[in-house]
Structure 1
Amino acid sequence: MVSTRPSADLPGPGEGAGLRWFRSAWRDLAGASPDAAAVGDELLGRWDEEHRRYHTLAHLLHILRAVDTLADHARDPDAVRYAAWFHDAVYEGRPGEDERESALLAERLLTALGVAPGRVREVARLVRMTADHRTEPGDADGAVLRDADLSVLASPPDEYLAYTAAVRAEYRRVPDALFRAGRLRILRKLLLAPHLYATGYGRAHWEERARANIEAEIRRLEAVDRVEPPQL
């Protein structure tokens, strides 16, 4: 059987080069101490867990690159980068609980590394925010992390289809009809918002494509519901 787990679009040729890129990015952020390297390796191990299909190293790479694109919009870009590393570090398919545990992990590990308490609190807050992506006016760091996490919605159509397949694979134990109903609720709620993105860059560069992708996915999901016979 062909695996539905996507290979990470890692920089450079091969897995080794990709992991070197991640380790270099983490070292630039957290420093070169043995303790920092150990935390980085723990995070990479978590992101590469076998049960993941969408929330993989490829997703982490996408988020980190998007944060770099949006860094000028952040108050504390490095806090946002830490939050990107930690925001799905715990992932068991439990919405809300995974984010809470990821935030607790960030508090424990970053405190052990000697990161300033104020930045640790900000990182944990940002990680918890990704449970619903709600940001308040003036929350520059939250806006950047939100937009980076949702930037996948603005992918080219073929990449968007791969993303939706990977999300479905992560919820493979959920019956099709139940999954479609839940997914449709999420997508319709997104479209009701005046803006999908909170930064000016996101609205200018990603909004139109993201809405088109979401509308196309809704049509696909609704078409399946129309043709499937009812379960008696």
Structure 2
Amino acid sequence: MSVPGALLEKLKARYGEPQRHYHTWDHITALKRHYHGMAESWHRPEPVLWALYWHDAIYDPTRTDNEELSDVRKEYAFVPEEAFRAGRARILKGLAERADIYFTEEGRARWDAQARRNLARSLSALTG
């Protein structure tokens, strides 16, 4: 079962809201490329696809219960720079300290090393 066309159009409209700079339809398209590239790994592909589509369907950068890892400063323009940098560094440090960033063997094999380099570079930039 795929996502019905009318629902898909509503989702695209959500991802096109003006406050979005990273959590856009381009973000979903990029995730779909990964999804299709790993298609043989999914035991139940439909729930994964639906989660991919809906994970940021409602996104208000002024709330604290959105996805914690938004990495575009424009979405948090209302947060003072010092507070943004401290909060962002705390989140990234927590990720970097995890034994596993990715929860699947394939994810760890494909992306862990690069993710750790990205985290180190971002932390360095945030903390000076």
Residues 1:87 and 2:55 aligned together: yes
TM-aligned CA deviation for residue 213 of structure 1: 0.8
Partner of residue 73 from structure 1, selected from 41, 46, 63: 41
State the TM-score, normalized to the length of structure 2.
0.89
Partner of residue 19 from structure 2, selected from 22, 43, 51: 51
* Secondary structure of 2:22's aligned partner: coil
**Aligned sequence identity (%):** 35
Which whole-Å CA distance do the structure 2 matches of 1:95 and 1:47 have between them? 19
Q: Deviations over 1:35-77 (max 9, x none)?
A: x222111111001111101101111111111122223332211
CA gap of 1:29–1:50, structure 2 versus 1, over 3 A, is same
Would you identify which runs of 4 or more consecutive aligned residues in structure 1 move more than 6 Å?
Answer: none
Q: Which structure features the higher share of helix residues?
A: 1
Partner of residue 79 from structure 2, selected from 153, 174, 181: 174
1:185 alignment partner in structure 2: 90
Which whole-Å CA distance do the structure 2 matches of 1:73 and 1:37 have between them? 26
* Secondary structure of 2:38's aligned partner: helix
1:219 maps to amino acid: S
CA gap of 1:175–1:59, structure 2 versus 1, over 3 A, is same
Q: Say which structure, 1 or 2, has more relative contact order (CA 8 Å, 6+ apart).
A: 2
Q: Mark the runs of 5 or more structure 1 residues left unpaired by the alignment.
A: 1-27, 31-35, 99-130, 133-149, 151-162, 224-232
Say what the alpha-carbon RMSD is for the aligned residues: 1.9
1:25 alignment partner in structure 2: none
Which whole-Å CA distance do the structure 2 matches of 1:180 and 1:204 have between them? 30
CA gap of 1:61–1:95, structure 2 versus 1, over 3 A, is farther
Q: Whose Rg is larger?
A: 1
Residues 1:29 and 2:2 aligned together: yes
* Secondary structure of 2:2's aligned partner: helix
Which whole-Å CA distance do the structure 2 matches of 1:57 and 1:66 have between them? 15
1:51 maps to amino acid: Q
Which whole-Å CA distance do the structure 2 matches of 1:62 and 1:76 have between them? 20
Q: Mark the runs of 5 or more structure 2 residues left unpaired by the alignment.
A: none
Q: Deviations over 1:63-105 (max 9, x none)?
A: 1111222233322111110111111111112242x4xxxxxxx
1:210 alignment partner in structure 2: 115
Partner of residue 29 from structure 2, selected from 45, 48, 61: 61
1:210 maps to amino acid: A
1:64 maps to amino acid: K
